[in-house]
Amino acid sequence: MIRIERAHILVGIDQGSILAGARDVQKKLEEEIKKRGLETEIRVLETGSLGITGRGVVLLVYPEGVYYVNVKVEDVPEIVEEHLLKGRFVKRLMLEPQLAEILAKGEFPKKLSKQKRVVLQNAGVINPDSIEEYIAVGGYEALAKALESSPEWVINEIDNSGLRGRGGAGFPTGKKWKFTAEVKAPQKFIICNADEGEPGTFKDRLILEGDPHKVLEGMAIAGYAVGANKGYLYIRGEYDLSIRRISKAIEDAYKMGLLGDNVLDSGFSFHVEIKKGAGAYVCGEETALIESIEGKRGNPRPKPPYYPGIKGLWGYPTVVNNVETLANVPPIILNGASWFKSMGTKESPGTKVYTILGHVKEPGLIEVEMGTTLREVIFEFGKGMRNNREFKAALIGGAAGAFLGKEALDIPLSYEGLREYGGVLGSGAILVLDDSTSITDMLQNVISFFKHESCGKCVPCRVGITKLLERMEKGTLLEKDLKEMIEISEKMADTALCALGQSLILPVSSAVRFFKEELTA
Amino acid sequence: MKIEELRKLREKVREDLKLREGIEPRVKIIVSMGTSGIAAGAREVLKALLDEVAKRELKDVIVLQTGEKGLASAEPIVEVVTKEATITYGRVTPEIARKIVIEHVINGRVLSEYVI
């Protein structure tokens, strides 16, 4: 006999909500439900982040789809008694109390949000610790489909989809795979870059916490496509919950024969190992990351001549992809390249996951189609500026990103849309600043961050950053200081060994472009 | 595991997630669970409904609850909502609840003697 439940309560468990007491709330929920004899009708389960941050413990109750926020242990009896037993909503804790009226009539609300979820489709819906639930929503079907086709077909499909790297640089993923697939080598590697160190970015963490199997499936497909049978997941050491969930996911996938030797009885083998990073920003750079996996100091390698795709980990061809990139792979394989291209813009198909933070009313994690404007992100998804202050600037893409002023509110957020403004999508962090913020201070802060994180191996980066910081610290900036600063960062962009030194041009030049008057004031 | 086994397993575990998919089910059975409803025995009715739905493996039916309907004298109240119509039953007992599932939900025959 199947078990029919009439409600599922999802507890959003991520590092933030654990600090707010999510575990205690979960325990109390289970106790209260048992006390009232509802345990056969109602299931409590944990999931990844529900996409709402800064609101303490968040619960999502199905089938109504009601969100409760800032839930404390002492609120639990009321929720169980009122909502679960009597079917009355606890309005004071609801995220959208206006929903209560619609729901009370027995109607299902239309999805209120305009988000387009591909990468985060399962995050906050399934239990990330359950491989069965992932399989139930179509998990590992893309891998099966890939294994039934050929590696060439897989690469073509990814290439045709126009998927570009979601870690920041936006390199076409299909091309990257093709380079490595064409190299003849006794051993190849896949690396999933989960060393998410960009200030203000936490999308990879929430993807891994919410849907770890999707990333593993993406890695296995990448391995099959390029001919690699070993993958490393290089993850920030601080991402404790992600590490635990992904470890469990790997273990379960091995048990089911979805990873390991002879995957799905196809003859293809793929092994995955986790490597923990030790907190260096530069180790998010792919060659420094490779050095770190090899057990060396995390210094970037000069390139050219050898790109990781040709000569990477231990000298073997290696594909390094970001978490979000890999999480895009299974849906593309499953639904086809043209489906993927139907979303987003021509040059940047698909969706993008952003973390919105700073002076907005509702900071959090969203996934929207490429080409969504900054205005929509801030005023629709972020619910507007906090305290009704004026929008001043947004720092897009983390510290290695660009400041955009009011003029840029209506540009579509995509690789090509931002290029015109000297910006990059980067890691997808959108830091919104209101008119109480000093851009001079912000810029100084960004440069200080780079000073702290520069590995110091190459001269342009080491000396350049020091020079820039000296200018900032001397007090009043003159027009000629700004000119010099741009010159220095341009030199760094041309000559620094890796993306760390190369990208300081973005915040510096954009700040000068949009906020020159303020900087020289 | 072979590919066919993966697909078989998927079919098996899919049911579990139906509740969270947000798709409108064919039939919604809504039990009024206000104070007077519960006092009149709505909990027992709800349990009987869930049990009957599970026993018959009705996959396109969802059992919900709502608050007071304002008809305290007719509690426990059960509504059966389909695309065509909403039928309200009153003074439902666990036995009647089972009949509602068998006759109305499965066979599409409204039990007019219990309709209010």
Structural domain spans, chain B: 21-114
Q: How confident is the model at residue B14, as a pLDDT?
A: 78
Same structural domain, A99 and A54: yes
All residues of chain A having their beta carbon less than 8 Å from the beta carbon of residue B13 are: 132-133, 135-136
The alpha carbon of residue A91 is apart from the nearest alpha carbon of chain B, in Å, by: 14
pLDDT above 90 covers a percentage of chain A that reads: 55
CA atoms within 13 A on the CB side of A122: 28
- Do A97 and A139 lie in one domain? The reply is no
For residues B60 and B78, the model is more confident at: B78
Query: Mean pLDDT, to the nearest integer, of A371-384?
Result: 90
Verify whether the Cβ–Cβ distance B55 to A1 is below 8 Å: yes
Residue A211 is part of a domain; what is its CATH number?
3.40.50.11540
A411 touches chain B (CB under 8 A): no
Three-class secondary structure of residue A211 per DSSP: coil
Point out the residue among A6, A125, A133 whose CB comes nearest to the CB of B64: A6
Q: Residue written as tokens 């048990």?
A: A255
Same structural domain, A194 and A238: yes
Q: Which CATH number fits domain B21-114: 3.40.30.10, 2.130.10.10, 3.40.50.720, 3.40.50.300?
A: 3.40.30.10
Q: Is A404 helix (H, G, I), strand (E, B) or coil?
A: strand
- Answer with the residue of higher pLDDT: A394 or B16: A394
> What is the per-residue pLDDT across A484-511, written as a single tens digit (0 to 9) for each?
999 999 999 999 988 889 989 999 999 9
Please check the confidence at residue A345 and state whether its pLDDT lies above 80.
Answer: yes
A268 vs B11, residue with greater confidence: A268
Residues A179 and A313 in one domain: yes
The amino acid present at A259, given as its one-letter code, is L
> What value does the CA radius of gyration of chain B take, rounded to a whole number of Å?
16
pLDDT at A109: 47
Instruction: Give the residue-averaged pLDDT of A260-282.
Output: 92
Q: Are residues A309 and A395 in the same domain?
A: no
Strand ranges in A7-57 using DSSP code E only, listed in sequence order = 7-12, 42-47
Do A303 and A175 share a structural domain?
A: yes
Q: Check CB contact under 8 Å for B54 and A133.
A: no
A279, pLDDT greater than 90: no
Most B CBs within 10 A among A1, A6, A263, hence the mutation to make, goes to A6
Structural domain includes residue A316: yes
Q: Is the pLDDT of residue B1 over 50?
A: yes
For A79-127, the pLDDT digits (tens) are 998 888 877 888 899 887 776 666 665 555 444 456 788 888 888 788 8
Query: Quick check: A106 and B15 CB within 8 A?
Result: no
Helix (H, G, I), strand (E, B) or coil at A516: helix
Cα angle vertex B10, ends B4, B13, to 5°? Answer: 145
Average pLDDT score over residue span A158-185: 92
Numbered residues of chain B with Cβ closer than 8 Å to any chain A Cβ? 1-3, 6-7, 9-10, 13-17, 19-20, 22, 24, 28, 30-35, 38, 43, 46-47, 50, 53-55, 57, 62-67, 79, 81
Cα-Cα-Cα-Cα dihedral sign, residues A416, A419, A420, A425: positive
pLDDT digits (tens, 9 = 90+) for A206-227: 899 889 999 999 999 999 999 9
Range of the domain at A171: 131-341
Condensed to tens digits (0 to 9), the pLDDT of residues A426-453 reads 788 999 999 999 999 999 999 999 999 8
Number of domains making up chain A? 3
pLDDT single digits (tens) A67-79: 899 999 999 999 9
Q: Provide the shortest C-alpha distance from residue B96 to chain A (in Å).
A: 20
pLDDT (average), residues A134-157: 94
